[in-house]
Copies of this chain bind each other. A is one copy, B any other.
Amino acid sequence: MNIKDVADRSGLPAKTIRYYEEIGLIRPLRGANGYRAFRESDLHKLAFLGRARGLGFTIEECRKLLALYEDRDRASADVKALAERHLQDMEVKIAELRAMQATLRDLVASCAGDQRPDCPILTGLASGKACH
């Protein structure tokens, strides 16, 4: 398989696939013409990576997940721990976003949003009322 085929079948851009090889996530073979020659197992890994990335895991987390996936002697507890930590990270991020939203929503609510220049959003940002 050439890179276009795996790109189409995995849903990942060719650029991304090359990048994943560069950082050592996959190691496709090479043909006599220098083209990457992907096996089914490479495609499989790429699909795995695409899904892990889709769940928000970082590349380094994906690397660990892939290592665990390939390790037949892993403990599922290790995988679960990684996933739970990621769930927590996301929880934190959501909380941060929620806090920002709450503050900004208050400011927005108090702004007339008309042609006049008076704007509580700007005065809030200027005066420090933009902190909860």
Query: What residues make up the interface of A, taking CB atoms closer than 8 Å to B?
Result: 44, 47-48, 51-52, 54-56, 65, 68-69, 71-77, 79-81, 83-84, 86-87, 90-91, 93-94, 97-98, 100-101, 103-105, 107-108, 111-119, 121-122, 125-126, 128, 130-131
Contact = CB atoms under 8 A, between A and B. Distances in A.
B105 A101 contact: no
A94 B104 CA distance: 15
Contact of A122 (B69, B114, B128): B69
Given A75-B117, A76-B117, A80-B108, A51 B91 contact: no
Number of copies: 2
Query: What 3 A-B pairs come out closest when comparing CB atoms?
Result: A80-B113, A76-B119, A51-B130
Given A55-B103, A80-B121, A97 B108 contact: no
A98 to B, nearest CB: 7
A125 to B, nearest CB: 5
